[in-house]
Amino acid sequence: NAGVIQTPRHKVTGKGQEATLWCEPISGHSAVFWYRQTIVQGLEFLTYFRNQAPIDDSGMPKERFSAQMPNQSHSTLKIQSTQPQDSAVYLCASSPGGGRRDTQYFGPGTRLLVL
């Protein structure tokens, strides 16, 4: 079991460019979560998929951020027109079912730096 895989591990973009972050959940897990971690805000929930369907995106910034899960083996987080304040570590997690008793397993994160 390779665990949750996130690519790239590090990404540097210029202001105004697009950034796409990839997540491969643990095989057999039906729930995928995205979080963002910054020094100022700490760990923040962004969005959640269950069985590839978007369930809750209440943490996603309304503009420029979007997430998709086109198949059960990967999810993407896309940031359009990146801004310096988007610099953060983006964490992806998966869990067997997304239920109350399920443990979320985290990937190593993608460190995004917007210059």
Partner 1 sequence: GDSVTQTEGPVTVSESESLIINCTYSATSIAYPNLFWYVRYPGEGLQLLLKVITAGQKGSSRGFEATYNKETTSFHLQKASVQESDSAVYYCALGGDSNYQLIWGSGTKLIIKP
Please identify which residue in 75, 82, 104, 110 interacts with partner 1, judged by CB under 8 A.
104
Q: How far is the CB of 102 from partner 1 (least distance, A)?
A: 6
| Position 88 contacts partner 1 (CB under 8 A) | no
Binding segment (CB under 8 A) for partner 1, from list 16-24, 61-69, 73-81, 100-108: 100-108
Q: How far is the CB of 35 from partner 1 (least distance, A)?
A: 8
| Position 25 contacts partner 1 (CB under 8 A) | no
Please identify which residue in 19, 21, 31, 88 interacts with partner 1, judged by CB under 8 A.
31
The DSSP-derived string for the chain is ----EEE-SEEEE-TT--EEEEEEPPTT--EEEEEEEETTTEEEEEEEEETTEEEE-TTS-SSSEEEEEEETTEEEEEESS--GGG-EEEEEEEESS--TTPPPEE---EEEEE-
